[in-house]
Structure 1
């Protein structure tokens, strides 16, 4: 089989198509023929050696994988050859065949295309886990989403609006703001305007119940200051690539507010059952066009 493999992190030229023997699934594992693999922000960080975890080499990128089961290892229950499954794992997807652990796999609805299913996995898992598991978001609340036109930001906009939550999105260009509006945001603000918080205050003087923040950088403190009393600021990532932001310690006190970390990788490592539950919900909802049935 062929796989796109690298023998050195940090050097993209070290990655190339190579030939390997087809692997054999072990205890609790599935061998799948890969139909689609989604690549995102995390993948390029890993390949460049900039992610907080550096996998051993040789390394095959691509963690959001959809494919058809070709063979099952000993002890596998609930999966059979010919079944289409999806899994989020740490690499392996840019190959004709790959091994997937059964406790990381979920069935894919028959009417969902492989590419669509793969594109949902990490962004929607992170958004759902952040909004509802870590954030406790409830219908009728108000959430501010930074990077609302990006992958995980757009997922948060769609999931929150589908759960009867009012969404404010921050985005830069006209094209991006239009996309965020179509995704379900009731208000979209250009954060490049130095007075963007004034626009937010005019629309919502009491502040927002939650900030979903995959951007960080210079937006971090102004967004926290935009919280209502007892609000929650979800720290999802630092896509701005600026230095890691800090926050004056008196602000959580004044707001009675919370900073909440959202790490989908931690969920994946510690609670695979919940990961499968969330992925099953997301894949099912995607076939229903995210009807209001999240909670």
Structure 2
């Protein structure tokens, strides 16, 4: 099978297209013929050894895939060869075949494409877990989403709307803001620091926002927290701003009666597996019902896997970037 692999994590140039033997599923595992693999900012960091969890080498990037079950390992039940699934894989999704735990695979609705499935699990579970479990967002509350055109930001816009929030999308370009408004955001705002708080105040009739969903944590981190209404919640989702981890004067939480809340979708299923599984099933139900239509961002063929990683690192994408394998 063809795969995109590196022996070291020095740079994207370390990766090569290689022929590997098909991986065999072990007990409790399945083998998936990969149709599409999600490519996010974190995937790119992992591929370069810059993430908090470093992979062993040789390394094939990619964790989230959409595809068809090709083989079942011993002891697997509830899935069958030929099932259309989204899966979390352990052998890397930048390959024609990948192996992962059967427990991490879910059948996808007929309404969902493989490309949509490949970018769904992490982004949409992050959005629902963050907004409902961590922020307890209420219908009618004002929700500001930073990076609203990115994969997880777009998911937060859509999930926020499904939960009844009034969404304001923050984006770095008119195209990104228009993309987020196309998903249903009722308003949008730029990210130019000069005068930003005043512009946000105008959008909220001087009331500020109740919840901030922040996968960027960039130059507007403190300005965003200062713009919270009384009792507001600022969700720290990630650091796609790429310029270090910002600090916040702790007295601001007292002045605002506000909370800075962490959202870690990697640990959520480890500590609360039943709840995480139920939320994923709920989200897929929304897709099946037509309440949720995940946007697919730019797509790349397997032959352009290096460009896909570079694009994910650039922050230029709108929606989830996808590598199309088959």
TM over 0.5: yes
- Distance in 2 between the 1:250 and 1:29 partners? 49
| Aligned twin of 1:227 | 228
Matched, 1:121 2:111: no
1:4 is matched with which residue?
A: 4
Secondary structure at 2:254 match in 1: helix
CA distance in 2, matches of 1:27, 1:271: 23
Deviation at 1:90, TM superposition (A): 5.5
Q: C-alpha distance in 2, partners of 1:216/1:241?
A: 9
Shift of 1:40: 1.1
Q: Pairwise mapping of residues 42-121 of structure 1 onto structure 2 (< 5 A)? A: 42-89=42-89, 92-121=92-121
For the 8 Å contact 2:30–2:102, the answer to whether it is kept is yes
Match of 2:324 in 1: none
Q: Any idea what the Cα deviations from partners look like across 1:56-96, whole Å, max 9, x if unmatched? A: 11111111111111221222121111111112346611111
Q: Deviations over 1:159-203 (max 9, x none)?
A: 111222101111122211111111111121112151121122233
In 1: Cα distance, 2:112 partner to 2:149 partner:
23
Give the count of matched residue pairs. Answer: 292
Q: Counterparts of 1:62 and 1:264 in 2: how far apart (Å)?
A: 16
Secondary structure class of the residue paired with 2:31: strand
SS of the aligned residue for 1:32 comes to strand
Q: Which of the pair has the greater relative contact order for Cα pairs under 8 Å at 6+ separation?
A: 2
Task: Report the aligned-residue RMSD.
Answer: 1.8
Query: TM-score normalised to the size of structure 1?
Result: 0.93
Q: Does 1:136 align with 2:166?
A: no
Separation in 2 of the partners of 1:201 and 1:271? 37
Change (3 A) 1:79 1:26: same
Consecutive unaligned residues in structure 1, runs of 5 or more: none
1:227 deviation in Å?
0.9
CA deviation after TM superposition for structure 1 residue 38, in Å: 1.2
- Distance in 2 (alpha carbons) for counterparts of 1:110 and 1:271: 28
4+ runs deviating over 4 angstroms: none
Contact 1:103 1:273 in 2 (8 A): no
**Residues 193 and 219 of structure 2 are in contact (CA less than 8 Å); yes or no, is this contact kept in structure 1?**
no
User: Superposed, which structure 2 residues align to 1:14-25 within 5 Å?
Assistant: 14-25=14-25
Q: Does the Cα contact within 8 Å between 1:106 and 1:276 map onto a contact in 2? A: no
Q: What does 1:161-176 correspond to in 2, within 5 Å?
A: 161-176=161-176
| Partner Cα separation in structure 2 for residue 270 and residue 76 of structure 1 | 23
Check conservation: 1:123, 1:151, Cα contact below 8 A: yes
Unaligned segments of structure 2, at least 5 residues? 293-326
| Matching of residue 152 in structure 1 with residue 152 in structure 2 | yes
**Secondary structure in structure 2 of the residue aligned to 1:278:** helix
8 Å contact kept, 2:86–2:118: yes
Give yes or no for the alignment of 1:41 onto 2:41: yes
Q: Secondary structure at the match of 1:103?
A: helix
Asked whether the equivalents of residues 7 and 57 of structure 2 are also in contact (C-alpha less than 8 Å), the reply is yes
Q: Secondary structure at the match of 2:234?
A: strand
Q: Secondary structure at the match of 1:81?
A: coil
Counterparts of 1:273 and 1:70, CA distance in 2: 27
